[in-house]
């Protein structure tokens, strides 16, 4: 399967949701997932941590599975291994979560081709890869630079209308 790319509309729709789960967040406060969690919280997102091996993250109750979150979330940001992503997208479908972002900065990240196909087959909006930091307004210079590099190499998401023209 060719790598599925998300449009900017899908990314903007995901980031417009204010109550999101972060599945696979680390218990290590120095881990990148915790830094992203903190930044999203600072920006006003209601981020619900999901990790079956943690009771809380940054003083916020942590859930074992997305299905356990009440009230439900609007989207799920996956910071999991690709193998775990395949399980978590099933959990998201069961929980009625229609928006899924599979994190990636370098390497494979959370992306699994099988999980992407699962989401698309169920009409879920999916961002297969990308780092949310690149799309947050006023992100730090490194994240803006990362986005710039992806633009000049043709790997930055585009609006659906411009994708149809190419």
Which residues are CB-contacts of 107 (< 8 A; sequence separation ≥ 6)?
none
CB atoms within 10 A of CB 40: 20
Is pLDDT of 132 > 70?
yes
Is pLDDT of 98 > 50?
yes
The CATH superfamily of 8-154 is NAD(P)-binding Rossmann-like Domain (3.40.50.720)
For residues 148 and 49, the model is more confident at 49
Please report which helix (H) or strand (E) contains residue 125, including its range: strand 125-128
Is pLDDT of 44 > 60?
yes
Quote the mean pLDDT of the chain: 84
Is pLDDT of 38 > 70?
yes
- Asked if 25 contacts 33 with a C-beta cutoff of 8 angstroms, the reply is yes
Q: Which residues pair with 101 in a beta bridge?
A: 77, 127
Is pLDDT of 149 > 60?
no
**pTM for this entry:** 0.82
Is pLDDT of 3 > 60?
no
d(CA 53, CA 25): 10
């Amino acid at each position: 399967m060719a790598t599925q790319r998300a449009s900017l509309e899908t990314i903007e729709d995901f980031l417009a949701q204010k109550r999101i789960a972060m599945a696979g967040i680390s218990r290590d406060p120095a881990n990148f997932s915790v830094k992203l969690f903190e930044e999203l919280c600072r920006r006003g997102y209601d981020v619900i941590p999901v990790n079956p091996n943690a009771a809380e993250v940054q003083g916020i109750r942590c859930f074992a599975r997305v299905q356990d979150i009440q009230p439900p979330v609007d989207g799920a940001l996956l910071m999991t291994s690709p193998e775990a992503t395949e399980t978590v997208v099933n959990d998201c479908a069961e929980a009625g979560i229609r928006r899924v972002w599979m994190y990636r900065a370098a390497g494979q990240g959370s992306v699994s081709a099988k999980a992407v196909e699962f989401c698309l087959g169920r009409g879920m909006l999916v961002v297969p890869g990308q780092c949310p930091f690149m799309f947050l307004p006023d992100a730090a210079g490194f994240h803006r630079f990362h986005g710039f590099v992806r633009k000049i190499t043709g790997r930055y998401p585009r609006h659906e209308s411009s994708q149809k023209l190419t």
